[in-house]
Structures are given as C-alpha cells and as structure tokens.
Structure 1
Amino acid sequence: MSHIVFFLVPGVHLLDLAGPAQVFSTTADFGHPYTLTYVAEQPQVSSAQGLPLAAGLDWPDLGPEDLIVVPGWRTVALADGPAIGAASLQALRNHHARGGTVASVCAGAEALGQAGLLDGRHCTTHHDVQDELALRHPGAVVVRDVLFTADDRVITSAGIASGIDLALHLVATRHGPAVAAQVARDMVVYARRNGHEPQSSAMLRHRSHLDDTVHRVQDLIDARFDQPLPLPTLASAVGVSERTLTRLFSRATGLTPLRYQQTLRLERAQHLIHHGATIDAAARSVGFEDPRMLRRLRARTG
C-alpha cells in the first residue's frame, strides 16, 4: 500500500488538490490500494474558492514508495505567496532524500524550490509564474508550456487541471498504461501524457475519446492482446454487429480492432527486444505465430 500525502497551504486551489486526489482514489477503487492523508501547518486551511479544509498537523511515517504532493495556491506573484515553515520544507527534503517522490501542481513548485529540490532539475509551473520561478530559483531548469516534468523523483505540473495529467502519469508508471487509461475513462478525462512529447503507449494514445463501446473493446484487447481475438468475438462481447464495431472503433481511434491489437503487440515486442529478447522469442511472447509478421510490422514502422 502506498501513502499519498497532500501538503496544503492557505489559498490552495481546490482543483489542484481534488484532481490528483481523485486519480489516486479512483485507482484504489480498481484494486490498487492508496492511503490519502492531508497535512497542513494549521488544522484548517481556507481554499482559494472559499471552502475551508481540515488537515492534520503531523506528518506520517513515509517510505520510498510513498508520495508527497504540494497543490498550488492562488497568487499573483510567487513572492507574495503564503509563508511555508522550515519544518515543512525539511519534511519535503527528508522524504526525497530517503528515496521518495515529491510532486507539485501549479504554484506548489515554489515550495519545492524553497526546499532546494528544484536545483539542477527540470521543472514547470503555471505559465503566469514561469518566469518568476526561474528568477527565484536560478538553479532550476524551468521548462515552459508543458503539462508536467519528471526529473529524479521530482515531478512538477503546470497547474489546475494538469495535476490530473501528473497523477495519471504516476499511475501509468507504477501500474501500467492500461490502469491509467481505465482510471481516465472512469473520470471521463483524456488520458494524456506530457505536453511536448508523443504519448509513449498505444494504450493511452488511442484512449482520447468518449465512446464507451470502443473503450470496452479496448479493455478486452488490452488484457488479452497476445491471444487470438476474432472480430466476431469482440463484437459479440459488446453486443453490436461486426460492421458497427469496425465503424465505431475506426472513428474513435483511427484504427481497426486488429490494427490496434497489432500495435499493442508490436509495442510490447519492441520492449522485449530492447531488453535482450530475440525477435523470434519476442514474437512468440506477444502472440505472433510467425516471427515474419513481427519483422514486417517493425519494417513498416521504421
């Protein structure tokens, strides 16, 4: 079980907090247990939207598998933000030093900067305060206009809704892209990755739609991509005709169900080959009876 601790400061933005919290809570609903805890320097914190939030005062014992998230707060300038106590900054430093991960949303990057965790690392924040973050923490490498960055267990996001992207990235890293896609679908959000990089997984790349029938077919293919999955079997599983399924699937993803399955197989085979497997062994592992099919697909994609 992993512990997620949200460190709250006065003026915290509700969506900066609620977005990542919902991602981890939904992930727990799908059988990957998380404990969510809220810590602050006072027992009640006023949010930027006026809703008072209760929080604990004591930091729990954390291990390397645990995460601290600092949601952002309402501010015109980082220099005018709420004061953060030395003990809280030390808690951030200690957790990272012990092998844990720290993350921020929006202006929360300022807290990581004050803790010295941005020095020499790539980071980002809301576009309104990117320049100021770079000036206040000259040792940081501020990456502008991206959804989030990840550098040596320090993860920062641009702000507001991008905290959801950050949390989905962490879920995909820990549990795989299929789980992240499942969570995104349940939350009715796009399963996105970083704003300046192509999405690295087909399971996420082709999930940016809201067609529930297609999602259910993708769930089946994701779980059994290394097995024969004839079109009649897939169509029967979701209660539509083969022609309807092909039309819906192509409209939502740009691929036929077979091409989607082949894409997953190819992606997994490439991973195995890069880790030392032979082409023949990788082909068998992902369900190709004839390794020549894998060779043709690899040649087609360059």
Structure 2
Amino acid sequence: MHKILILIMIPLLYSCIREINPVIIDIEETYLAGEGVFILNEGNFRSGNGSLSFFSYDSLKIFNHVFQDINNRPLGDVPYSMGIDAGMAYILFNNSDKIEVAERNDLKSVTTMKKIVSPRYISFTGGTKAYVTSLYSDSVTILDLLSNSVSGFINLKKSSEAIVALSTKAYVANWAGGNKIMVINTVTDQVTDSIEVGIEPESMVIDKSEMLWVLCNGGWKRENFAELIAINTGTNKIEKRFTFPSVTDSPTCLQINDTGETLYYLHNGVRRMDTGASNLPSGVFISEQNHVFYKLGVNPSNNQIFVTDALDYVQKGRVIR
C-alpha cells in the first residue's frame, strides 16, 4: 500500500481532488484498504476534533473520519504528523501529548502512548527503534517499537522539529528560533555533531547523492533571510547555500521526488528545483491563485503532487492534486 501524508489545519477534509471529482464518503461507508493517500486534518486547537481521511486510488473516493469510524472514538487534539513502519501507523498529536499506534491497513487501534511532550515528527532508525522530536521538550524521545513504550531520551538542550535518518545518523532540526542541525549516532543514541544553518530549519530531505537539503524559513518575525542549504552527510559540511531574495520570503514544506533529483517546496505556490541547479527557481511551478496552500506532499510511487488548501483556517478545507 503506497501512501503519502499531508496535513491540513481544519477539522475535516471537505472538497475535491482536482480533475477527478471523487465521491466524498463519511462514516456511513466502510474504509477500504488499498493504494491511496492519508490526509491528517488538524482540527481546531483545543477542540479535540482532529481527524484522518483517506483518498483511495482504487475507488477514487475520499473516506473521512476513518480512525473514528473504526475505533468508535475521536482521534484527538491537533494530529500533527504520521509515520508508517512495519505495518503500523504512528499518529503524533502536538496538543494531546500522545502517539496513537494503529494497524496500517485497517487503522484498528493498537495502543495509545501518552505523556510524550508535544511530539512533532517521528523517524524510524532501523530495527525496533524510533526517534520523536518535540516542540516544548529539550530532548528527543526514543521509542521501543516492540513494546510501544518510551525507552529513553536524547538531551539536545533545545527543541526539535524535522528529523531524517540515514544509515547510522539521524539529523534533527532545531526549529523554534534555532539555527542548528544536531547529528545523532543511532547506535549509541548520542549527539556527535551540530551544523549551523539558517534561522528556523523547518523541513529536510535526502537526495540521491545522500546530500541533506535543509529549508530554513528565516523565522516568524521575518528579520532574517530564508535559506535552502545542502549538507554533505559524509562530512557534515555545507556544500551549497541559496538565500531567498526578500526578507519577507517564508518558504515551507520541502519535499523530494522518488528518484531524489527534484525538490519541491511552498512559496507563493509550489516551486520546483533540480538538485543540481545553480539558483533558486525564479518562477512558480503550480500557481496558488485564490488558494491558501498549507502543506505539500509528493507521492513516492508516482510523483503526484498533493497540496492542502486551508481556505480561511476555520471552515472545512480541501486537498488538491
């Protein structure tokens, strides 16, 4: 089953996948397994109305409330990200301080891991271990995936956001006001290095040459220029550095295609950039028009691009393919 994970900041997926006009299914019809895309709907802050939707490639239908339908209870308050490993889905809740563990194919709940401080992203480091970043804790949480329990912590002395694992290294971004990428040895669970980058590194990907690309949005105060940086993971040294032209530029959601050759990110629309390019793209690949692009995903099996439209951040949103 091939899936990508896209986030949206409103209670329920509402409208269409562009060009195919699928049927919107609520809880009256059973969720169907198969190839498709999971969409996390953050819901309204402190309302506990976050939900999970699934777009099926097989039936061209969107199934809303799939977790609630199957488990007879709401998903939780602000589901922020989701990871899939070894047949299990791990849903992280930024405001509920928990991780829901469910079977990937039918979404039946396995367990709820509680008291995990503001979890943001999960990275599977091989075997039965995973790392979870945190907005409000100064440590990365280590998970034992066999027992679905916390097995330890790695003190970064700062908050953490995006995380990617490569071989025996995990790269962790210090996002909120930070400018460091921390390097962790995944065998010893020790911090071995730190790399100074731009202000607020918020998303990262690995390309086909095992270069780590880091998108730094410059900070919410817009006092620093945003940057796109390429780091050699063999040396942990910066090899490329692209600075955005205006201090008001605030790019987000760095993604990469299945071959590791093409980068995508949100900046007044969707931008596309070859990893061998000498300059940032000057034009927009997909125009935002009257939409409010919020999150971006690229399907690793067919390179289809999905973008969420948050509309006014209050009413039900849309996902666009």
TM-score, length of structure 1 as denominator length: 0.30
Tell which structure's C-alpha radius of gyration is larger. 1
Q: Which structure features the higher share of helix residues? A: 1
